[in-house]
Amino acid sequence: MDTIVINELEAHARIGVPDSERGKPQRLLISVELRSSFGEAAATDDLSKTIDYDRFCRDLRAHLAVGQWKLLETLAEQIANKAISDFGANSAVVEIKKFVIPRTKWVGVRIERLMSEHST
């Protein structure tokens, strides 16, 4: 399995359990591993045979701009599902970091979803 890695994409979203935390967008760092087979893309040098990570990042930022979430887990699940259903990844690993707890560098969540899990 081949992997495209998006490491710490900086984005902003309204996320947090208390209403006050969702009151304004806060900084997130989002890392995503998009797994699939990229042999045909490598052999043909054809973007349509791989995952367009630029479009994925633009779509992700647009999604974050219009929604709001209480849990990082919910957002991570949505990102993984989008990678599989809209971008053709066989699996996706999503890690989201936020900077909300005093005296911690960050708090976050990391999930992995497989295509077979997504279709059930």
pLDDT, tens digit, 9 for 90 and up, residues 70-95 = 999 999 999 999 999 999 999 999 99
Give the whole-angstrom CA distance, residue 5 versus residue 52. Answer: 12
98 an active-site residue?
Answer: yes
Q: Please check the confidence at residue 98 and state whether its pLDDT lies above 60.
A: yes
Full set of structural domains in the chain with CATH = 2-118 (3.30.1130.10)
- For the chain, give the mean pLDDT: 95
State residue 20's pLDDT score: 93
State residue 118's pLDDT score: 59
Give the whole-angstrom CA distance, residue 9 versus residue 31. Answer: 6
Q: Average pLDDT of 56-60? A: 98
Nearest to 13 by CA among 22, 1, 4: 22
Q: Average pLDDT of 28-34? A: 98
Task: Kindly report the pTM of this predicted structure.
Answer: 0.93
State residue 120's pLDDT score: 45
Of 24, 49, 97, 98, which is the active-site residue? 98
State residue 101's pLDDT score: 93
